[in-house]
Structure 1
Amino acid sequence: MRIVVTGGAGFIGSHFVRQVIGGAYPGLAGAEVTVLDKFTYAGLRANLAAVADSARLTVVAGDVCDPHLVRRVLTGADLVVHLAAESHVDRSIEGAAEFVRTNVLGTQTLLEAAARAEVARFVQVSTDEVYGSIEQGSWDEAQPVRPSSPYSASKAAGDLLALAYHRTHGLPVCVTRCSNNYGPNQYPEKLIPLFVGNLLEGRTVPLYGDGGQVRDWLHVADHCRALALVAEQGRPGEVYNIGGGTELTNRQLAGRLLELCGADESLIEPVADRKGHDRRYSVDSTKISEQLGYAPRVPFEQGLARTVRWYAEHRDWWTAQR
């Protein structure tokens, strides 16, 4: 089997690649992996260092919007796991053009090449943010998308294109929508590594608005295991929500990080709320649980403590990204 992982040098992609090469997923055992990554600010070769010498890994530096390169890379591929994306909401508010280019045009370029190459499975990795905010309950996969930010709108567009390629061309596409990820190697602009890095250096952490925004947290190991299940057993044309099962307000999360870093609340700095900030995300993971047997395995408190410890022990990694 040959797997192409776009964005495979990023936070989630590199974890997935390392696990595949390491034999963590029986259904993908022995697979050859090709990473296609543009190596922008968040794609780092260092994230693949642990498997860089594997004869089963090929790394291609390139853009998912380049149709000639994409056709070449996807020729002979059995599975595409599409993780390449612009993903930081604040950056999308400041300038949406690159998000539309990568998340929409790049996805369409990959889908077209996958259809021509008759790829056996295409996994479009998306986000719970496409559903928008929900005050109570949880979104299931039948809910319409109602994105609030340019980032989530561009991801929703990519999802719809993927499902359209399934309906029009018969491309065996599955779409996954996950909740907020955390874990080692996450780029320092995201909430947990940003807060941990600042706290470890005795600096303040910015908390949007009243800090009451609610997010569900999912360890990257659980997310990648779910992606492997969808790649192996997912039904073409289906959407699968992937939740972590731990909902916290941003203020509650900040409190846990303060405690783990040995800091106090004086380091919390309230800042003006983000434009169009969704109040709460929550996805119902019943479908992937019942159909594919997924359940999160990493207890949040344990996973968060391990994550903080990783950043404390790898200062050189995250200080180099600032």
Structure 2
Amino acid sequence: MSESIAGRTVLVTGSDGFIGSHVVERLISDGARVRAFCLYNSNGSTGWLDESAPFRRAVQDGQAEIVLGDIRDPEHVAASVEAVDVVLHLAALIAIPFSYVAPRSYVETNVIGTLNVLEAVRRHGTPRMVNTSTSEVYGTPEEVPITEAHPLRGQSPYSATKISADKMCESYALSFETPVTVLRPFNTFGPRQSTRAVIPTVLSQLLAGARELRLGDLSPKRDFTYVADTADGFVRAALADVAPGTVIQLGTGRTESVGHIVDLCRKVTGNDAEVVTETERIRPEGSEVQVLLSDPSRAHELLGWAPSVSLEDGLAQTAEWLRPRVDPETVARYHR
């Protein structure tokens, strides 16, 4: 990108989360001033940023500030957006299995929360907003690789709320010329991801020395992107001069089955544990997305973005991060 994020003030919602914390660190490294919006809690925790030395130093140096709040609160969101140059909106409820249990909470956070950010950006005339979508909005695709023009299909309550959030962004772009870009990562993985996702689930059990690997369906295929590459995509989207409402995918253009991921994780850890299928880990038949495979050409064209970390190298780095954090007593527990 010809421009630089250095010196710009960037609000990151969901800063306390997996991807959000990596985005914050990348922004700090690039010289941005960061306003880290984290979910309010009585302990004052900033989630994964509690463990981030670069973030702590940036707060001490005045390069970063912490805002505790709730994306569902419109007044507080509006106050937090004031006087920023860019909003990177990552706050969301993300676990698909829990969306079967508590769908209303996904609507309130993912749809109403996004509406609150859009209204705040509109009120303050913020120059750029990036909304975080997901490849789950496509459902099982009609054809692969998937392009940004592919129809959307809500095969889970989670994906339905993300489709709704994307469409709210589209409507604000068309109705009010709100300068929002919809960034659509495929399956991001890496350090700090919770075990509700397949890669940390597999690696954690293997690293704990389990002889039985408790998993769900091994046949679905996914396009896995290492988190540092996803963070790079967010920084590039923050600077991209694209039309309001533009949708851009972030994916590698490579798809692998869960079964093959298990094989790769066995090699990384040196543990050849046998898979045991647990029915509670399997999605309802009509809700499972069978394959996701991106076409990364638009990201390359508009953002100059391309993944730089291979799946194999990313798995090795994730395993090294997980190794000292594995609890053998809890690794087999199903995390919705």
The TM-score with structure 1 as length reference comes to 0.91
Measure how far apart 1:136 and its partner are.
Answer: 4.2
**Does residue 44 in structure 1 map to residue 48 in structure 2?**
yes
Stretch of structure 1 that moved more, 41-50 or 175-184 = 41-50
Q: Detail structure 1 runs of 4+ shifted over 6 Å in the superposition.
A: 318-322
Tell me how far apart the structure 2 counterparts of residues 300 and 135 of structure 1 sit (CA, whole Å): 25
* Mapping for residues 241-252 of structure 1, pairs under 5 Å: 241-252=249-260
Letter in 2 for 1:189: R
For the residue of structure 2 that corresponds to 1:206, the secondary structure is strand
Alignment-derived partner of residue 4 in structure 2: none
Trace 1:52-131 onto structure 2 (pairs within 5 A): 52-54=56-58, 55-131=62-138
Candidates 268, 282, 286, aligned match of 1:260: 268
Q: Distance in 2 between matches of 1:315 and 1:80?
A: 34
- 1:293 matched to 2:304: yes
Gap runs ≥5 in structure 2 = 1-7
Q: How does 1:169-184 map to 2 (within 5 A)?
A: 169-184=176-191
Write the distance in 2 (CA, Å) between the matches of 1:108 and 1:190. Answer: 27
| Match among 218, 241, 262 for residue 225 of structure 2 | 218
Residue-by-residue CA offset, 1:269-314 (whole Å, 9 max, x unaligned): 1122311111111221111112221111111111111111111144
SS of the residue aligned with 1:176? strand
Q: Give me the whole-angstrom Cα distance separating, in 2, the residues matched to 1:150 and 1:232.
A: 32
Q: State the Cα deviation string for residues 194-235 of structure 1 (Å, max 9, x = none).
A: 2211222223333323x1100000001111111111110141
Task: Report the alpha carbon displacement of residue 315 of structure 1 after superposing the two structures with TM.
Answer: 4.0
The one-letter code of the counterpart of 2:252 is G
Equivalent-residue separation in structure 2 for 1:248 and 1:195 (angstroms): 15
Between 123-132 and 32-41, report the one with greater CA deviation: 32-41
Matched residue type, 2:48: L
Contact 1:148–1:278, Cα closer than 8 Å, also in 2: yes
Match of 2:195 among 188, 192, 205: 188
SS of equivalent residue, structure 2 residue 52: helix
Q: Is the 8 A contact 2:49 2:55 kept in 1?
A: no
Is structure 2 residue 154 aligned with structure 1 residue 147?
Answer: yes
Over 3 Å counting, the alpha-carbon distance change for 1:38 and 1:281 in structure 2 is same
Q: Secondary structure at the match of 2:309?
A: coil
Query: For this pair of structures, how many residues does the alignment match?
Result: 313
Measure, in 2, the Cα distance between the counterparts of 1:36 and 1:42: 9
1:21-68 Cα deviation digits (max 9, x unpaired) = 112xxxxxx321101111579943424343212121111111011111
Q: Distance in 2 between matches of 1:285 and 1:59?
A: 34
Separation (CA, whole Å) in 2 of partners of 1:94 and 1:150: 9
CA distance in structure 1 between the aligned counterparts of 2:96 and 2:11, rounded to whole angstroms = 26
Which of 293, 296, 299 is the matching residue for 1:282? 293
Amino acid at match of 1:279: Q
* SS class of match (1:34): strand
Alpha-carbon distance in 1 for matches of 2:11, 2:187: 24
Once the two structures are superposed, what CA deviation does each residue of 1:177-196 show, in whole Å capped at 9, x if it has no partner?
Answer: 11101111112222111221
What residue ranges of structure 1 are gaps of 5+ in the alignment?
24-29
Preserved CA contact (<8 Å) 1:246 1:300: no
For 1:142, give the aligned amino acid. Answer: A
The DSSP-based 3-state class of the residue aligned with 1:53 is helix
Indicate the percent of aligned positions where both proteins have the same amino acid: 33
User: One-letter code of the match for 2:180?
Assistant: V
Matched to 1:284, the amino acid is D
Determine the C-alpha separation between the residues in 1 that align with 2:180 and 2:213.
Answer: 40
Aligned twin of 1:31: 32
Contact 2:140 2:290 in 1 (8 A): yes
Give SS of 1:44's match. helix
Matched-pair contact (CA < 8 Å) for 1:288–1:294:
yes
